[in-house]
Structure 1
Amino acid sequence: MANSTLSNAKAAKKDEFYTQFYDIEAEMEAYLDYNPDVFRGKTVLLPCDDPEWSNFTKYFAQNFEELGLKKLISTSYAPDSKTYKDGTQLSLFETQSPKFDKDKTKTHGKIFVLTED
């Protein structure tokens, strides 16, 4: 079966798939080849599983100045809002922050905003 991995994931209710950084980079290069200013002065909104681990967030943050972005906003759902419950992996920066609240981490989503490199 050609899509056995997807079928198995669907049956197991584990449908978290991550786009590789290389694939994002290749696709974005196609946009930039067509129009180098396609992102210039724009705000990019990225809904993702976790802004800290998202390859899309990583790509746009690393290329913020080169793309000429005005703003990058990356958001996530709260872990408790998902039907499929899988453990969350928190970063050291998050858990060591004075604003860290263990209970809110489960019930609130995350947001990452970048307005300058």
Structure 2
Amino acid sequence: MNTIPEEIKRELSPHEQLQWWGRPRQGLVLRRADSLAIPFSLLWCGFAIFGEYSALHASGAPGFFALWGIPFICIGLYMVFVRFLADARQRSNTYYAVSNKRIRTLQHP
């Protein structure tokens, strides 16, 4: 077994013996649910950007319509890009540990 990370050592009690430790898969991970989530997020983002563009360039549209689309664009960009980065970052800070007394999932910032 490799050297035990400090994040796990800090969590062990004095009489606890570590049996196994590991980490989740690192980097970009695509899941089965992404086969529907990716096309949906692209459509959402595309419609939000098109709607915002239309509101900004439509003659006589009130300024409220330009502001209304901004949250939808932000949500779309999160669904298309940021969620993958957030997931990879969360998994990079995650450890699994099995001791003779308990099973732990540790996440450190």
TM-score range (shorter-chain normalised) is under 0.3
- Highest CA radius of gyration, 1 or 2? 2
Q: Which has the higher contact order (CA 8 A, sep 6+)?
A: 2
Report the structure, 1 or 2, having the larger helix content: 2
What is the TM-score of this pair, normalised by structure 2?
A: 0.25
What is the TM-score of this pair, normalised by structure 1?
A: 0.24
